[in-house]
Amino acid sequence: MVRYGNWAMDLRRGRLGQVVRRKFGNVILCSTDGVEWTCPEDEHRIATKPELRAAGLLPEGS
């Protein structure tokens, strides 16, 4: 489980989103373009540095 504000990977969709809240045993993720979706608690993980770089959220070499 990740904390609010962390970037997470939705394992079902292979989609990156920021954890914005919890709701009824799910987490609500928000993509970089502002689209929110629901993901079950056990179907996400903390995003890796390569995933964050690929999304343009980390500079190269960090």
**Residue 17 pLDDT:** 98
Asked, for residue 60, whether it belongs to a domain, the answer is no
User: Does residue 1 have a pLDDT over 70?
Assistant: no
Residue 34 belongs to domain spanning: 7-54
**Residue 62 pLDDT:** 73
**What is the number of other CB atoms lying within 10 angstroms of the CB of residue 42?**
10
Domain count, the chain: 1
Q: Which residue has the higher pLDDT, 48 or 2?
A: 48
Is 19 within 8 Å of 6 (Cβ atoms)? yes
User: Coil, helix or strand for 58?
Assistant: coil
The proportion of the chain whose per-residue pLDDT surpasses 90, expressed as a percent, equals 87
Q: What is the CATH number of the domain that holds 18?
A: 2.30.30
Write the CB contacts of 29 (distance below 8 Å, at least 6 apart in sequence): 8, 10, 15, 17, 18, 19, 20, 36, 37, 38, 39, 44
Query: CA 61: distance to chain centroid?
Result: 21
Asked, for residue 62, whether it belongs to a domain, the answer is no
Predicted confidence (pLDDT) per residue in 13-39, tens digit: 999 999 999 999 999 999 999 999 999
